[in-house]
A and B are shown apart, each in its own frame.
Chain A
Amino acid sequence: MPILAVEGVTKRFGPNEVLKNVTLSLDAQEIRAICGENGAGKSTLVKIFTGVHTTDDGAVLVDGKPTEIASPQRAQELGIALVAQELSLAPALSVLDNIWLGNREVPLFHRRKVLRERARAALEKVGLGDLSLDTPVATLSIGRRQLVELARMLTRDARVFILDEPTATLSDVEIERIFNALRALKAEGKSIIYITHRLGEVFEVCDTVSVLRNGELVGTRRTAEIDRAHLMQMMLGRSMGEMYPRWESKPGRPMLTVKNLHVPPVVQNFNLVADQGNVVCLAGQVGSGAIEVLRALAGLVPDATGEVSVMERPVRLRSVSKAQAAKVQFISEDRAGEGVFLRLHVGQNLVATRLADHSQLGILARQGLRATAEKLAAAAGVDRARLHSMADELSGGNQQKLAFGRAIGDDEPGVLLMNEPTRGVDVGARAEIYRLIRQFCDRGYCLVMASSDIEEVLGMADVIVSMYRGRQIATYRRGEADVHRVLADITHPVAAA
């Protein structure tokens, strides 16, 4: 008997039907992936399971009985636990305190030994047996915090664990830990709903996959019975062709030269020559220093040192405006935090770095600005009709195109620095961004990107530089590397010291 199911569920927000007649069911000991592009209805479905939204039509069944999950508290009582993207742990408290935080079994004053033992047992199940219960959560990595959260749900006797893109900000090693924890939970008889953008993970850890598109269920399949291309076609409603563009890789003339770059406290003695028309990928996990290298080159790290030159002209580090003057533009992975002005218009976002070119004595030439915004929108594939929309009304993929449009000029090509170019971008928009990257490289740009997604690195790079804990491990030209070598490099490099 299915442990959790929805039958004919429909959910409307005003005139929009975000879920249309969705029926699916989850068995005990099943790991179910739910895939779909942004806006397909995944999050709404999760919110129905966890009592945040109620259904407009159809029924939710728990243990085969129609049940109304009217509130998150009720969901918890029913054993449905959400492991959210934004973690709900209190960083200043210890692991033990966090595990029992908000649990009604805990007496007011007494800290009983049995609580420690049960917390210890839960941690062991999720693979954190080595962790001291008194460690403050703030000192743990994001991946470990997620595991602590899983342990916390275990102590609450959750039966269904819902994970909403748990790996978006994790490195590969940490992802593997999460997977192991999920397999252990499954062996315990628990069920898991796993929401993800990364198709590789579906096949690696999930038994079955349900695909949503525009609020409708496209279908549910066993992962053993389908392949990647099939899954992608289900998500997009059309065949994808190729995710990555095809091109002929050839060296160009050196555009960006980096010597002896130090970015305290992580990166030491980083050297790089990036050619015009090439995509150089710094492959590394969180903590490898890849992201920090790009931030330093963008002028955003105040204590970085080293010699950098663009087209043989030296560029001063530690100043964003000096970097921009040398035609070095940075596209942040943290779009909401530092990439895009969410509450400004799309047009204003596009010209944000170009105000100086369109003003005299501090007075703006507004017509020139508008024309430039239109030109940049066209170049980056942003719909012109949306120039007057607020940036926060765009999807993740369109925001990334916006950030891209801001970084490119309409004159001579320069160096683009991109951290995690497709984080939080759905599959369809992802291919478009890859095409844009290639297109601008063909126009003579040089693109350096940091990425923890090995598939993306192999698909896009002319040159791959693998990094581990602030050191460069190896450099490959296109075709020289494969998944296993790069993965080995960035996780536990052999004889690299």
Chain B
Amino acid sequence: MSDVSLRTRFRLGGARARHLVLAVRIVAGSAIALFALSTPGFTSPLSINALLNAISFIGCVAVGMTFITLTGNIMSLCLGATVSASALIFLASLSFGILPAFLIAILFGVVITAAQGLLVGFFRANPILVSIAGLSLLIGGAALATGGQRVYPGGEGLQVFKGRVAGIPVEALYFFATVVIGQFILSWTRIGRVMVMVGSNPRAAYAAGVGPAMAVTVAYVIAGACSAVSGVLLAARYGSGDMELGTGYDYTAIAAVLVGGTAIQGGSGSVVRTLIGVTVIAIIEVVLLLRGFSQQLQYLITGVIVLAVIMLHTIGERR
């Protein structure tokens, strides 16, 4: 069999390719579940707790990233820094009270990403480059403002964002709320539908007169707000913060988005899928931890999984 015919063999029709991808997903999902459940200690309250925590911080960012990916803008490299920066802002403004500090942090996150969204949406700037610029600005700005020192809370009230309610970590509740709101925006609002249309085909969205630029900007705004929520939760958990807090979150978030099955080229995906993606990655990490694998190996394996998912999609989407 020559490699040419092998290649064409993989080039299936649309519906069949989708079914194949779905089947592979189900098999892989069951394998991971079996592997997890057979790991001693996985179902213990302690490990479930660790799992929920891991999901929550990354998860909020991943929900935000979903909107950027969905509108066809691939990913933002700036969300991790937005997490850190809004955590710092939150801690610094705690002196105004917990609610104002929370709102200021969210507003900050929104302003940071809205500016990028305007550039990407209205001026068609390259989303990756814009996010790299945003990243540099945030890191530089934060270094100037803090003089490189850690930031400690300027007031009381952090308990609202940690501890547990009915045995569930509060962080997880905030994350689930983010998922619900995110999915609602996507499936039940006009702007959400327009975002999917823009991601699916930006030129068709323009020709249909639905205002693609606005939808892209709003997607970035949501990403900023979600990242800021993650920043607030992290700040509350650790009681202090620096710009390292959210480092690497953008990468893990995009991994979760892709593993969940949102298309990297945009136009297809959902927040619920991202929830699944985040959970799968977290389960794998917890299992690897419980089985005594090193941190480096965990990164490696996560990388392999993301690559495998991308390959799966490439095969599924090819015509």
Contact = CB atoms under 8 A, between A and B. Distances in A.
A363 B188 contact: yes
Interface in B8-47: 8, 13-16, 18
21 contacts: A14-B16, A53-B8, A319-B209, A320-B206, A321-B209, A337-B201, A338-B203, A338-B206, A339-B207, A343-B201, A343-B267, A344-B268, A352-B197, A355-B210, A359-B189, A363-B189, A364-B188, A364-B193, A390-B14, A392-B14, A406-B208
Contact of B190 (A341, A342, A348, A359): A359
Contact of B2 (A70, A324, A348, A390): A70
Interface residues of A, number: 43
A356 B190 contact: yes
Interface of B: 2, 4-5, 8, 13-16, 18, 188-191, 193-194, 196-197, 200-201, 203-211, 263, 267-268, 319
Given A54-B5, A339-B204, A348-B197, 9 more contacts: A70-B2, A71-B4, A72-B4, A321-B211, A348-B193, A352-B210, A356-B190, A363-B188, A393-B13
A220 to B, nearest CB: 27
B204 A338 contact: yes
Contacts of B196: 344, 348
A65 B289 CA distance: 64
A362 interface: yes
A337 B200 CA distance: 11
A330 B4 contact: no
- The B contact surface, by secondary structure, is helix
A298 B4 CA distance: 44
Interface of A: 13-14, 47, 51-54, 70-72, 298-300, 319-321, 323-324, 330, 332, 337-344, 348, 352-353, 355-356, 359, 362-364, 366, 389-390, 392-393, 406
B143 to A, nearest CB: 39
A281 B193 CA distance: 35
Contact of A300 (B197, B207, B210): B207
Contact of B209 (A53, A70, A71, A320): A320
B207 A332 contact: yes
B188 A353 contact: no
Given A14-B16, A338-B201, A344-B267, A364 B208 contact: no
Contact of A362 (B189, B200, B211): B189
Contacts of B8: 47, 52-53
A298 B188 contact: no
Contacts of A344: 196-197, 200, 267-268
A262 to B, nearest CB: 21
A337 B197 contact: no
A46 to B, nearest CB: 13
**9 cross-chain pairs, A with B, having the tightest CB-CB distances, nearest first:** A320-B209, A338-B203, A341-B200, A321-B209, A338-B207, A359-B190, A338-B204, A355-B190, A343-B267
